[in-house]
Chains A and B, each alone.
Chain A
Amino acid sequence: MIRISDLSVSIHGRAVLHDVDLELAPGQVTGLVGESGSGKSMTALAIMGLLPRGAALSGQIELDGHNLTDLPEVEYCAIRGQRIGMIFQEPMSALNPLMTIGDQVAEALILRQDMPREKALEAARDRLDRVGLAAPRFPLTLYPHELSGGQRQRVAIAIAIAQRPDLLIADEPTTALDVTTQARILDLLVGLVRDEGMALLLITHDLAVVAGVADQVAVMQEGRIVEAAPARTLFQRQSHPYTRQLFAASRHQPPQVDHQATAPLLQVQDAVREYTLPRPAPLQPHPVLRAVDGVSLTIAEGESVGLIGESGCGKSTLTRAVLGLEPLQQGRVLLDGAEVRAGRAMPAEMRARMQVVFQDPFGSFDPRWRVERLVAEPFHLTGRPRNWRERVAEALAEVGIDPHAMRRYIHEFSGGQRQRIAIARALIIRPRLIVLDEAVSALDVRVRAQVLDLLARLRKDHGLAYLFISHDLSVVRQITDRVLIMDKGKVVESGLTSVVMATPRHPTTRRLIEATPQIPADWLPDQITDSSSPLGIGPATS
């Protein structure tokens, strides 16, 4: 039993946590929900005794009645792993690439419990079986690179539960995974809590994730827990205005844009893209991976089309081919009837009709350029007009960024602002098609609602067509007219978004829809108010 009371943390004098109270009971899942920067991860680090340098802590963290906060580091080391385990967001970097998975799970047992190696490996086998990596297919001698993202996260969980801790902290454990993998990992975590009587602290920004699994939910804002209640109660009756804003944003529906059938803008015809893989053994032929296997699709002028699939289904490869960044082996891509070719063969005037917005708001901009130069970069295609600064200011104003920000560097902006700037960059040369590659996946719910509204408005004002690529059905549902489901390089189902979502025919589609976390319909409060603004300006009271 872990009891946190009056926990306050400040870093270099700046307060980041204020009077946090939490109780983590055995066999219970506690969801800790909040936006980025709200102090969720800092709470986890405080419990683990891993606060960064310069942090000052006050209050109590009690484990079975013993206060942990004034333990010396040596004794805290014994608590970490043995009593408290933790798993992180990024399964790629949480494992040591040079150690086998068996050794990584056994490591703590050998170190902490003085187990002989053979016995520790036996225990590791048992733990890996428990997380669903069973013996014949997943021997202990595998290395992390031989596993998929979801499997790696399972190994990370096996390490965290190797010593059967009392508390497991999972910090955004599924954010880097696609929906179907997310659903399986969440099932596994909940199963572990029930079977082994652990307490689980599940940190996430996604309300729908906690709705499915948490027994109680705490909502964090600016270092404070503003509301905490049993999950069902909280979902039905949100007493704090901030909680209400979060809920409104997660259910937010951007304005619908009417779309009349018009001439096709983009046509993809029987596209095939293959990669040669390294030889499995010397003198054997190179195996071939068919990343895109005979895909056809059409986007009309002003139409918004969704492309959905799990990671590795070929949607990113297809996107690069559409943008003329990668050649196709067979088939072709037509834009306004003219063929899209990769590299130099594609005329600038044609490239100027398509632009792109990427997923990662942090990697999308050169950190050494000012905003005005970043936004003006696509002018390379059209020639920079004399009034380019005015055009940049106009584009920034259109996405709701103060044009005075032009002279600043990108690190001065938040994730949501960066994504707006990315949209401004895509808009500046007035393209007709914008490819949105997981463009809102990395954003918090309230910011996501704003960006979706913005996209809907821009589409209405400029007659833009969107190709919206995502693994998240709930977002695609909100913003697209038609949808295509991809699996293993092929389009397995397509149709009007509302029809496909309501009556999925292909097993892949069904799997994706089932896996999407949803707040149960009967949990929702009756009075869904649109007055609670997702923009979060002022508390919305009913």
Chain B
Amino acid sequence: MRWSLILGATLAGLALIAAALSWVWTPYDVTQMAIADKLKPPSAAHWLGTDHFGRDILSMIMVGARTSIAVAVVAVGIGMGIGVPLGLIAAANRGSWLDEIIMRGNDLVFAFPSLVIAILITAALGPSAVNAIIAIGIFNIPVFARVTRAGAMPLWTLDYIRAAEVAGKRATRISVEHILPNIANLLIVQGTIQFSLGILAEAGLSYVGLGAQPPTPSWGRMLAEAQTMVTLAPHVAIIPGLAIIITVLGLNLLGDGLRDALDPRLREGR
């Protein structure tokens, strides 16, 4: 389905543009409080209204997008950077003790409830955006290791890999030259999905106060601060909630669309 790709790219692009724009321009300064204007509904002056300190919500959403995306990008980067090589090594040594150690280690990380461990890490190292990144990144490693290994295993049985072996190439070189380019689309699709999960995880950590610290705006903390006032000024809670939903939905649709577009087995779609 072509539309999921377009819709997904549009929604995810919206968040990306908001984040990029926030570097150079926001309607108001996000640290600037104006108690007199607190909890204003959307208006011409404040398009998305103001929060309980009178800060402009649109500006906070824009800067919050930056936080969310930065955390998710680095977390996916950590996951790919460590997980993909591990998966390639496991597949190249399939059936050996090395494969066992890597994959059982993955199972071990998988077995821990990820958010609980993230809370543990931030509790031990202190809450900050950096620690949230590390916590989320660690849990991306086994995901990428598994996807990589699963994608690489069937390739290792193919004749062109045999031909490369006959050409005297070692497993490392074959993994980089032949295996990696052929599983790139798998990794891109998984990347977008992990990216959206990263945004959700960051929002979750910020919601319980373990992510980015004030005054840096963050969607999760905006939600947490707004929840006591939800009857008074519902838009203060609804708007960051919508921002999270739209971005995550957009990324998931993008991932689905990319899978359809990149996977030749699904391209014809009978």
Contacts and interface: CB of A to CB of B under 8 A. Distances in A.
Contact of A351 (B168, B178, B182): B168
A351 B168 CA distance: 7
B160 A366 contact: yes
A356 interface: yes
A377 B167 contact: yes
A434 B160 CA distance: 16
Contacts of B163: 356, 358, 364-365, 377, 422, 425
A210 B170 CA distance: 46
Contact of B167 (A344, A346, A360, A380): A380
Nearest to B182: A368
Interface in B148-194: 158-160, 162-170, 178, 181-182
B2 interface: no
Contacts, number: 52
Interface string A144-175: 00000000000000000000000000000000
Given A344-B170, A363-B159, A377 B164 contact: yes
Given A348-B168, A351-B166, A363 B158 contact: yes
A360 B161 CA distance: 13
Nearest to A351: B168
Contacts of A346: 168
A52 interface: yes
Contacts of A377: 163-164, 167, 169
B265 interface: no
A381 B182 CA distance: 23
B159 A364 contact: yes
Most buried by A among B158, B170, B178, B270: B158
A358 B170 CA distance: 20
A378 interface: yes
A interface secondary structure, majority: loop
A140 interface: no
Contacts of A344: 170
A355 interface: yes
A364 B160 contact: yes
Contacts of B158: 363
Interface in A304-360: 323, 325, 344, 346, 348, 351-352, 354-356, 358-360
A351 B159 CA distance: 17
A367 interface: yes
Contacts of A368: 181-182
B109 to A, nearest CB: 28
Interface string A402-445: 00000000000000000000100100000000000000000000
Given A52-B270, A364-B159, A368-B182, A356 B166 contact: yes
A356 B270 CA distance: 37
A114 B168 CA distance: 60
Contacts of B178: 366
Interface of A: 52-53, 323, 325, 344, 346, 348, 351-352, 354-356, 358-360, 363-368, 377-378, 380-381, 422, 425
Q: Which 3 pairs from chain A and chain B are nearest by CB? A: A358-B159, A364-B159, A363-B159
Given A363-B159, A381-B167, 14 more contacts: A323-B166, A351-B166, A351-B167, A356-B166, A358-B163, A360-B159, A363-B158, A363-B160, A364-B159, A364-B163, A365-B163, A367-B182, A368-B181, A381-B168
22 contacts: A52-B270, A325-B165, A348-B168, A351-B166, A351-B167, A351-B168, A354-B166, A356-B162, A358-B163, A359-B159, A360-B159, A363-B158, A364-B160, A366-B160, A367-B182, A368-B181, A377-B169, A378-B167, A378-B168, A380-B168, A380-B169, A422-B163
